[in-house]
Amino acid sequence: MRAVISLVCAAALYLTPSLAEDGIRKIGLSKVADRDFVEKKLKASDGDVLRESLRHHFEISTGQEPGNIIVKDYQNAQYYGTITLGGNQNFDVIFDTGSSNLWVASYKCWFSCGLHHRYNSKKSHTFVANNTDFNIQYGSGPVSGYFSTDDLDLGGLTVEGQTFAEVTDASGLGLAFMIGKFDGILGMGFDSISVANTPTPFQQLMAQGRLNSGMFAFYLGGADGKDGELVLGGTDPKHYTGDIVWVDLVSETYWTVGLDGVTLDGATYHASETAKAKAAIIDSGTSLLAGPTAEVAAMAQQVGAIKLPINNEYVIPCGMPLPTLTFTIDGKDYPLNGDEYVINAGNGICLLAIMGIDVPAGPMWILGDTFMRKYYSVFDMENKRMGFARST
Ligand SMILES: *[C@@H]1O[C@H](CO)[C@@H](O)[C@H](O)[C@H]1NC(C)=O
């Protein structure tokens, strides 16, 4: 069985689960409109309070259990879709290949959960209490709550007894969550980075025999986010052209592949790093591309981009000719044209879709939605590999 989850722009209507001709199931996923997405960043760069709260987002506190560390704040997440817990409680979640827990706001969460949908176990007939503490530590504070178990509906497929976290304190995500469009996160990484090694929903779908293959694939649609979809249990050939090129994973934590180097107009980056460091993670929960801060600063300087006061992000006047940016993964080139690594903020300002982040486990690159929009990305959990093809 396969399920397909559609990805659409936030401005467009949410698509309800539907059954396509060939039995593929779909759930709507939404995308935060580019302009809203960038505007938030530009505004943020003016506000002292917000700046202060953002300053720590990527500084990961040490001494945590490895599974409890998440290297991002979802400020950079744009795509989300709806899941159902307990038969009839709907939540918009980010389908995030860069983490491995499912969590949603709990009815016991107050201020830090903003106006989000909240899971209420009292309204579910299939709820099973667990009550084990759930904690993820961000540099800026905790996201915490407790585990519960309930049935989860995902694109028309049911996971029986999915253990997830009800979050009662989301203050560690600050405004990214409070004013964000999403009520929670659905992690699609490996359970080795899952808090308490809780099996992910996708692993549960595999274990419960709901899928005919242990892979899922993201198609993010056009720049407007229309018609994107997440397929569970296979791929959707109408959303890519040519053959899928398979790459073995170099670690089963995040979806990590070997990155031979990054080139920009003849200049080579990352290639001189040690073999261990030559890695990239494919992360649907990050909107942009992210690389080591020094490399990204040099790249930004090379193309004449200006640094925003926060987060090692850069802007550039729209329409400036930009060279091709190429990621070489396992010997194969994946080029992005100039217009494919900027996001238009309006008023002639473009955000460079490359930000600097020094990942604790790095140096490594994070290839987020900017990469995945151009390259249909297949995550094959069963065979521990990833596949890439040109998106249609
Ligand atoms: C509660 O959830 C945790 C995390 O998944 C799990 O390790 C534990 O076994 C569960 N406890 C019960 C009683 O189900």
324 φ, ψ to 5°? Answer: -70, 135
What pLDDT is stored for residue 70 in this prediction?
43
CB of 58 closer than 6 angstroms to any ligand 1 atom: no
More confident residue, 278 or 52: 278
% the chain with pLDDT above 70 = 77
Band (pLDDT 50/70/90 cuts) for residue 335 is: very high
Token representation of residue 106: 């709990």
Give me the helices (H) in 196-325, please: 201-207, 293-303
Q: Residue with structure tokens 């722009």? A: 9
For atom 5 of ligand 1, which residue has the closest CA? 198
Least confident stretch, 20-24, 119-123, 376-380, 383-387: 20-24
What pLDDT is stored for residue 61 in this prediction?
28
3-state secondary structure of 272: coil
Q: Is 248 annotated in the active site? A: no
What pLDDT is stored for residue 17 in this prediction?
34
Q: Residue with structure tokens 């995945």? A: 372
Q: How far apart are the first and last CA of the chain?
A: 23
pLDDT of 254 strictly over 70: yes
Residue 270, phi-psi category: left (phi > 0), alpha (psi -120 to 50), beta (remainder): left
CB of 199 closer than 6 angstroms to any ligand 1 atom: no
- The fourth-level CATH superfamily of domain 236-391 is Acid Proteases (2.40.70.10)
pLDDT of 2 strictly over 50: yes
Measured from the Cβ of residue 244, the count of other Cβ atoms closer than 10 Å reads 18
More confident residue, 12 or 315: 315
- Average pLDDT, whole number, for the chain? 81
For atom 1 of ligand 1, which residue has the closest CA? 130
Token representation of residue 254: 């995040």
Q: What is the pTM of this model?
A: 0.85
| CB-based contact 235:225 (threshold 8 Å) | no
Q: Give the distance, in angstroms, between the CA of residue 233 and the centroid of all CA atoms in the same chain.
A: 19
- Catalytic residue of the set 34, 73, 92, 96: 96
What pLDDT is stored for residue 297 in this prediction?
95
CB of 198 closer than 6 angstroms to any ligand 1 atom: yes
In whole angstroms, give the CA distance from residue 330 to residue 382. Answer: 20
CB of 130 closer than 6 angstroms to any ligand 1 atom: yes
- Catalytic residue of the set 283, 358, 369, 380: 283
What pLDDT is stored for residue 8 in this prediction?
38
More confident residue, 98 or 122: 122
145-154: pLDDT as tens digits: 999 999 999 8
3-state secondary structure of 185: strand
Q: Give the distance, in angstroms, between the CA of residue 375 and the centroid of all CA atoms in the same chain.
A: 15
What pLDDT is stored for residue 180 in this prediction?
81
In whole angstroms, give the CA distance from residue 151 to residue 228. Answer: 26
pLDDT of 248 strictly over 50: yes
Mean pLDDT of 192-221: 91
Q: Is 191 annotated in the active site? A: no
Least confident stretch, 11-15, 117-121, 348-352: 11-15
- Cα Rg of the chain, angstroms: 20
The CA 145 to ligand 1 mean position distance, Å, reads 14
Q: Give the ligand 1 atom nearest the CA of 163.
A: 5
Q: Is the peptide bond before 321 cis (omega within 30 degrees of 0)?
A: no
Q: Are strands 325-329 and 385-391 parallel, antiparallel or unpaired?
A: unpaired
Domain boundaries, the chain: 236-391
What pLDDT is stored for residue 319 in this prediction?
87
Token representation of residue 335: 């080029």
